[in-house]
């Protein structure tokens, strides 16, 4: 997509170059809000996807095929003034409320990229009894300072001090 491919074109390129595409799932959204999804015929368990303008969602091992749409609906109804990461976590919680996975959820992750090439947020929880709640807790710690880290990188003189050694 960075080279100009649409979401659909990028999906087709990835599938053609991917090892074992029958086992893979992906969702893509391009700069124009166009979406593309893929669930290979050997994706695990009950799998489903939902796509609309500016939103694409897929899952496998689902308790019900309604989960991706519940996630997408939650995201669409969230406040666009809120941070993207929080909106995504709230959508994950809606997916759990709609049935979630057929078995217990053990892992959750969040990767948010903004205007820089590096992630604004990169949080992950594995093998936890309630990973989405734990991910939300990590978000609550990270979110108030995440933009300050970008400022520190781009213009250290403008970054706030957090009283760390050497930053007196």
Residues 50-106: tens digit of each pLDDT: 998 889 999 999 999 999 999 999 999 999 999 999 999 999 999 999 999 999 999
pLDDT score of 107 more than 70: yes
Q: Is the pTM of this model over 0.85?
A: yes
Token pair of 83, please? Answer: 């941070």
The pLDDT, as a whole number, for residue 108 is 97
Average pLDDT for residues 4-16, to the nearest whole number?
A: 97
Residues 113-150: tens digit of each pLDDT: 999 999 999 999 999 999 999 999 999 999 999 999 99
pLDDT score of 161 more than 90: no
Burial class (CB in 10 A: 0-12, 13-18, 19+), 74: buried
Supply the DSSP string of 110-164, one letter for each residue.
EEEE-SSSSEEEEEEE-S-SSHHHHHHHHHHHHHHHHHHHHHHHH-GGGSPP---
Number of H helices, E strands in the chain: 4, 6
Which residue ranges form the domains of the chain, and what is each CATH number? 1-103 (3.60.20.10), 104-168 (no CATH)
């Amino acid at each position: 997509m960075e080279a100009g491919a649409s979401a659909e074109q990028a999906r087709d390129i990835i599938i053609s170059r991917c090892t074992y595409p029958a086992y893979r799932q992906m969702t893509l959204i391009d700069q124009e809000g166009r979406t593309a999804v893929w669930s290979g015929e050997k994706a695990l368990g009950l799998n489903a996807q939902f796509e609309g303008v500016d939103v694409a969602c897929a899952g496998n091992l689902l308790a019900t095929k309604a989960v991706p749409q519940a996630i997408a609906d939650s995201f669409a109804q969230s406040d666009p003034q809120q941070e993207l990461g929080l909106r995504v976590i709230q959508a994950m919680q809606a997916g759990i409320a709609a049935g979630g996975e057929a078995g217990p959820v053990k892992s959750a992750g969040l990767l948010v990229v903004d205007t820089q090439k590096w992630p604004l947020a990169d949080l992950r929880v594995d093998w936890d009894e309630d990973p989405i709640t734990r991910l939300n807790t990590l978000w609550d710690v990270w979110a108030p300072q995440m933009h300050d880290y970008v400022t520190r990188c781009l213009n250290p003189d403008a970054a706030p001090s957090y009283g760390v050694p050497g930053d007196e």
